[in-house]
Amino acid sequence: MTDVLEDRGLATAEDRFRAAKAASTRLATATAIERNRGLEAIADALLARSAEVIAANADDLAAARASGLSDGLVDRLTLDERRIAALADAVLAIVRLPDPVGDVVRGSTLPNGLQLTQVRVPFGVIGAIYEARPNVTVDITALALKSGNAVVLRGGTAAQHSNAALVAVIQDALASTGLPAGAVQTVDEFGRDGANALMRARGLVDLLVPRGSAGLIKAVVEGSTVPVIETGAGVVHVFLDESADVEMAVSIVLNAKTHRVAVCNAAETLLVHAAAAERLLPPVAAALQEAGVVLHADERTRAIVPDLEIASDDDWAAEYYSLDLAVAVVDDLDAAMGHIAAWSTHHTEAIVTESVRSAERFLAEVDSAVVMVNASTRFTDGGEFGFGAEVGISTQKLHARGPMGLSELTSTKWLVRGTGQIRA
Amino acid sequence: MTDVLEDRGLATAEDRFRAAKAASTRLATATAIERNRGLEAIADALLARSAEVIAANADDLAAARASGLSDGLVDRLTLDERRIAALADAVLAIVRLPDPVGDVVRGSTLPNGLQLTQVRVPFGVIGAIYEARPNVTVDITALALKSGNAVVLRGGTAAQHSNAALVAVIQDALASTGLPAGAVQTVDEFGRDGANALMRARGLVDLLVPRGSAGLIKAVVEGSTVPVIETGAGVVHVFLDESADVEMAVSIVLNAKTHRVAVCNAAETLLVHAAAAERLLPPVAAALQEAGVVLHADERTRAIVPDLEIASDDDWAAEYYSLDLAVAVVDDLDAAMGHIAAWSTHHTEAIVTESVRSAERFLAEVDSAVVMVNASTRFTDGGEFGFGAEVGISTQKLHARGPMGLSELTSTKWLVRGTGQIRA
């Protein structure tokens, strides 16, 4: 695949950024029908050329096994007929979503007759840096194209052959519908240099979306001059208020912790109001333990529920991604919000309470992307919120916060229509 | 002033970021009435303590003159009774603007009954890095407080005494109304270290707004790990299409270039369609020259209007901020848009045309924050757009693009209200 790209004269990472930028101007004026046709062609081509992709994937898998990659990471890397079919389906699901490009955000007619319209436009070129998961290659490409953007991918050296094969399939499919093949680029084969070039490509790349571990995201945030949307890390808290209903508390904590553990919206810390701890902790702990959850508890919790692991600061900071939960008894609502302010990653926090006063204070004062009353934290999700696509969950405050839909992959532009107006 | 701050135990830049962060949680839950009272107290205190501010300003002015600062920069640095009264009036004008905090952006009720509401919330702490203009100290502080944010200011060493006096007045005024004095901090006396610390204060400072020269903005963008909103630089183009009305062309070009020259929305380059150059250029050039504008022209323009300066690439890139204008004849609309894509800073571009086809292509294809048909580029302005305040004009695509109102100084938060919902 490398040869194919080099044959096209895109020998450096910067060449590819320029090619993506050039393609982005064509994409930005393509109609939704044209972009959807391109995506449908991609879905078709993934199925038609799956053998080619699987063969390339086999090269990556052989190298991964030889280098002793863990079974979990090898599984994430693996593509087979079934998974490729699922990727094609996911592309078609994105085709069916409403198109954000050209949406009118607001507008007005000024006293002098000037007509102002603020419309959604594509960013231009979106960069993505992620780990060795070839499904992300297809997913982020489809989301970018649907929102009118070109994309430059840097997907982890361990998936290099798979990604190159996928990108070749995608480029050919785009070209077959008259869209520019250059709209999808990869810089995988440049290794770390490719990632570094992508992070410094301000002016050619308009937005960078890191997806993966907290370490990867931090490295991108700190090393990038291109604007970044930070996604992911969730040290998610559930607080059981003094008035919490015990059945609701058990149900929400159990769901938030055990429904799916290796996701960012799973609960990682449980806080319990001291005045209700003796009432709530025993049934909640019993339900969690029955579900296989290991509790890492402070002394006040251990005084009520015996034989628990002792929690340290590492537990309050932990995004376990496993059947582990940190538990603390806190004096009151203020102490709970203080703990959250100290340890939260500002993703999602929930309170279980019957008190409208506690509920409204929690909603107003907790500084997280999503703040919930009497609901499982697992609802922080683009699909659950009705956005259709899962672009990611932003934990930053600029541009997008919380679950991101396709519209978060767009910028805006002001259109001003006049009849010769000048300023007096 | 430095002593006062050190007495409060805020000896390092990071201490001040932490103080601002602590104050921001109180500000975020203050009502609009409380925040407006704080701003009114600031306006009153500026008038009541103007002598103190003018005395501190005199120290800066003496140092500035001793160091040979230019008359223009000394003028920008100068505060007197009249200017302080204007600052107090500007604060009161901000009080009268609609409050963005708590605005509902969107919401829905999910099929399971969960109620979702996305509301505007303050960012938390806004950092500002700007040049030696003490009026910006008051302006950015008032805008930040109005939108519920604390602020950390780094305002140029040449204005250090003035800024310290202004911040002391502001802090005391806030405290007198029960709002936290710590909501307004300065790191001026730490010099370049203070600016560097501010740029790396991710987690304590939520947003950084550089205001000033292109060089200052570039340094902040490249050196900052805190999210930045890039404002300002405008290499603004006006394109006279083949069908342009000559009177409208003269009127718009003259207004865009000469109405006010040292502003980012003033025209810097004029492009003229080759097929209309002989018809349009002589009257447009005559009007500009009569207004004292020096034209820097390409060969095709010089073939029609004699005795003009020869333009080089420096002219196509120039943000003159003066009575100078670069002029080129281009083959057609595509060539005009090509020139714009190559040289624009993506701030504002305008076309003068009678052709709906040219107008719509220009609006769709030019990738700038504001794109205009038959109007002066001088309308790109928060005040003209009806936003009331002039927070700045964003030339980036993330979060805010074009004129920024108070709502662009807010983030959002999702509030989720349930009755015990869990995910199936």
Tell me, what's the pLDDT at B191?
86
Find, in chain B, the residue whose alpha carbon is nearest to that of A373.
B417
Tell me, what's the pLDDT at A211?
87
Question: What's the alpha-carbon Rg for chain A, to the nearest Å?
Answer: 24
- Estimate the crossing angle of helix B50-66 against helix B160-176, to 10 degrees: 160
Give the burial class of B9: count Cβ atoms within 10 A of its Cβ; 0-12 exposed, 13-18 middle, 19 or more buried: exposed
> Does residue A424 lie within any of the structural domains?
no
CB atoms within 10 A of CB B408: 23
Buried b / exposed e along B109-146 (16+ C-beta atoms within 10 A): ebeeebebbbbbbbbbbbbbbbbbbbbbbbbbbbbbbb
At which residue do the structure tokens 């840096």 appear?
Answer: A129
Tell me, what's the pLDDT at B8?
53
Cα distance from N-terminal residue to C-terminal residue, chain B: 60
Find, in chain B, the residue whose alpha carbon is nearest to that of A108.
B385
Is A356 within 8 Å of chain B by CB? no
β-bridge partners, B415: A371, B117
CB atoms within 10 A of CB B2: 12
**Domain CATH for B70:** 3.40.605.10
Distance CA(B234)–CA(B217), nearest Å, equals: 13
pLDDT tens digits, one per residue of A45-74: 999 999 999 999 999 999 999 999 888 889
Both tokens of B146, joined, read: 């109005």
Q: DSSP secondary-structure letter at A96?
A: T
Residues A199, A257, single domain; the answer is no
Residue B94's contacts (CB-CB under 8 Å, 6 or more residues apart) are B39, B142, B143, B146, B388, B389
> Does residue B387 lie within any of the structural domains?
no
More confidently predicted of A329 and B261: A329
pLDDT tens digits, one per residue of A275-293: 999 999 999 999 999 999 9
Distance CA(B405)–CA(B382), nearest Å, equals: 6
Tell me, what's the pLDDT at A263?
86
Question: Which residue in B102, B413, B125, B145 sits closest to A367, CA to CA?
Answer: B413
pLDDT tens digits, one per residue of B97-148: 999 999 999 999 999 999 999 999 999 999 999 988 899 999 999 999 999 9
Question: Which residue in B347, B344, B308 sits closest to B327, CA to CA?
Answer: B308
Tell me, what's the pLDDT at B2?
39
Mean pLDDT within A240-252? 98
Give the burial class of B415: count Cβ atoms within 10 A of its Cβ; 0-12 exposed, 13-18 middle, 19 or more buried: buried
Phi and psi of B258, rounded to 5°?
-110, -10
Which H or E element spans position A240?
Answer: strand A236-240
> Does residue B301 lie within any of the structural domains?
yes
Which residue of B116, B375, B411 is in closest CB contact with A401?
B411
Residues of B within 8 A of A205 (CB-CB) are none
What is the DSSP code string of A291-306? TTPEEEE-HHHHTTS-
Residues B172, B241, single domain; the answer is no
At which residue do the structure tokens 């936003």 appear?
Answer: B387
Residue B283's contacts (CB-CB under 8 Å, 6 or more residues apart) are B246, B249, B250
Distance CA(A380)–CA(A238), nearest Å, equals: 13
Both tokens of A165, joined, read: 């094969």
Q: How far is A168 from chain B (nearest CA, A)?
A: 28
At which residue do the structure tokens 């993966």 appear?
Answer: A212
pLDDT category of residue A93 using cuts at 50, 70 and 90? very high
Q: DSSP secondary-structure letter at B158?
A: G
The widest CA-to-CA distance across chain A, in whole angstroms, is 79
Question: Which residue in A257, A254, A309 sits closest to A280, CA to CA?
Answer: A254
Helix (H, G, I), strand (E, B) or coil at A404: coil
Which residue of B378, B402, B414 is in closest CB contact with A423?
B378
Tell me, what's the pLDDT at B232?
75
Residues B220, B246, single domain; the answer is no
Is B375 within 8 Å of chain A by CB? yes
Residues of chain A above pLDDT 70, percent: 98
Q: Do B420 and A252 touch (CB under 8 A)?
A: yes
Q: How far is A211 from chain B (nearest CA, A)?
A: 18
| Edge-first strand listing for the sheet containing B184-186 | B184-186, B150-154, B125-130, B207-211
Is B147 within 8 Å of chain A by CB? no
pLDDT(A105) > 90: yes
Residues of chain A above pLDDT 90, percent: 84
pLDDT category of residue A3 using cuts at 50, 70 and 90? very low
Tell me, what's the pLDDT at B7?
42
pLDDT category of residue A2 using cuts at 50, 70 and 90? very low
pLDDT(A331) > 80: yes
Which H or E element spans position B41?
Answer: helix B32-48
**Distances, alpha carbon B363 to alpha carbons A28, A116, B124, B374, in Å:** 12, 12, 36, 11
Distance CA(A76)–CA(A132), nearest Å, equals: 8
Residues of B within 8 A of A245 (CB-CB) are 420
CB atoms within 10 A of CB B70: 9
Q: Are A125 and A24 in contact (CB under 8 A)?
A: yes
Helix (H, G, I), strand (E, B) or coil at B20: helix
Both tokens of B341, joined, read: 């894509």
**Domain CATH for A261:** 3.40.309.10
CB atoms within 10 A of CB B40: 16
Is B221 within 8 Å of chain A by CB? yes
Tell me, what's the pLDDT at B82?
97
Tell me, what's the pLDDT at A384?
92
Residues A142, A193, single domain; the answer is yes
Q: How far is B29 from chain A (nearest CA, A)?
A: 7
Q: What is the pTM of this model?
A: 0.91
Residues A58, A202, single domain; the answer is yes
β-bridge partners, B126: B151, B207
Residues B190, B247, single domain; the answer is no
- Estimate the crossing angle of helix A32-48 against helix A160-176, to 10 degrees: 130
Residue A355's contacts (CB-CB under 8 Å, 6 or more residues apart) are A241, A242, A243
Question: Which residue in A346, A228, A226 sits closest to B21, CA to CA?
Answer: A346
Tell me, what's the pLDDT at A9?
61
- Counted residue by residue, chain B has a size of 424
Is B28 within 8 Å of chain A by CB? yes
> Does residue B422 lie within any of the structural domains?
no
- Chain Cα centroid distance, residue B37: 25
| A to B CB pairs, distance under 8 Å | 197
pLDDT(A138) > 70: yes
Is B25 within 8 Å of chain A by CB? yes
Which residue of A254, A372, A418 is in closest CB contact with B418?
A372
> Does residue A189 lie within any of the structural domains?
yes
Residues A323, A240, single domain; the answer is yes
Q: DSSP secondary-structure letter at B98?
A: P
Which residue of A108, A254, A371 is in closest CB contact with B413?
A371
β-bridge partners, A350: A238, A372
> Does residue A422 lie within any of the structural domains?
no
Which residue of B251, B372, B418 is in closest CB contact with A416?
B372
Phi and psi of B263, rounded to 5°?
-130, 155
> Does residue B397 lie within any of the structural domains?
no
Dihedral over Cα of B258, B260, B263, B266: its sign: negative
- A:261-320 residues touching chain B, CB 8 A cutoff: none
Is A414 within 8 Å of chain B by CB? yes
Question: Which residue in B349, B333, B214, B332 sits closest to B269, CA to CA?
Answer: B349
Which residue of B251, B386, B418 is in closest CB contact with A373?
B418
Which H or E element spans position B417?
Answer: strand B410-421
Tell me, what's the pLDDT at B423?
96
Is B105 within 8 Å of chain A by CB? no
- ipTM score: 0.91
Q: How far is A202 from chain B (nearest CA, A)?
A: 9
Q: Which domain holds residue B45?
A: 2-229+405-415
Is B360 within 8 Å of chain A by CB? no
Q: What share of chain B is helix, strand, coil (3-state, %, to 5)?
A: 50, 20, 30
What is the DSSP code string of A343-354? H--SSEEEEE-S
Distance CA(B51)–CA(B330), nearest Å, equals: 57
Tell me, what's the pLDDT at B1?
38
Residues A219, A368, single domain; the answer is no
Q: Do A418 and B375 touch (CB under 8 A)?
A: yes
> Does residue B421 lie within any of the structural domains?
no
Instruction: Count Cα neighbours of A83 within 13 Å in the Cβ-side half-sphere.
Output: 17
pLDDT category of residue A215 using cuts at 50, 70 and 90? confident
pLDDT tens digits, one per residue of A354-407: 999 999 999 999 999 999 999 999 999 998 998 877 778 999 899 999 999 899
Residues A194, A292, single domain; the answer is no
Residues A10, A155, single domain; the answer is yes
Which residue of B254, B370, B422 is in closest CB contact with A416?
B370
Residues lower than pLDDT 50 in chain B: 1-7
- Counting the structural domains of chain A, the total is 2
Phi and psi of B211, rounded to 5°?
-130, 125
Distance CA(B189)–CA(B158), nearest Å, equals: 11
Q: How far is A69 from chain B (nearest CA, A)?
A: 33
Give the burial class of B59: count Cβ atoms within 10 A of its Cβ; 0-12 exposed, 13-18 middle, 19 or more buried: middle
Q: Do A421 and B376 touch (CB under 8 A)?
A: yes
Residues A281, A217, single domain; the answer is no
Which ranges in B148-245 belong to alpha helices (H)? Answer: 160-176, 191-199, 214-223
Residues B261, B371, single domain; the answer is yes
Q: Do A416 and B375 touch (CB under 8 A)?
A: yes
Cα distance from N-terminal residue to C-terminal residue, chain A: 60
Residue B57's contacts (CB-CB under 8 Å, 6 or more residues apart) are B77, B78, B79, B134, B161, B162, B165
Q: Do A397 and B222 touch (CB under 8 A)?
A: no
Distance CA(B348)–CA(B367), nearest Å, equals: 9
Q: How far is B373 from chain A (nearest CA, A)?
A: 5
Which ranges in B177-213 belong to alpha helices (H)? Answer: 191-199
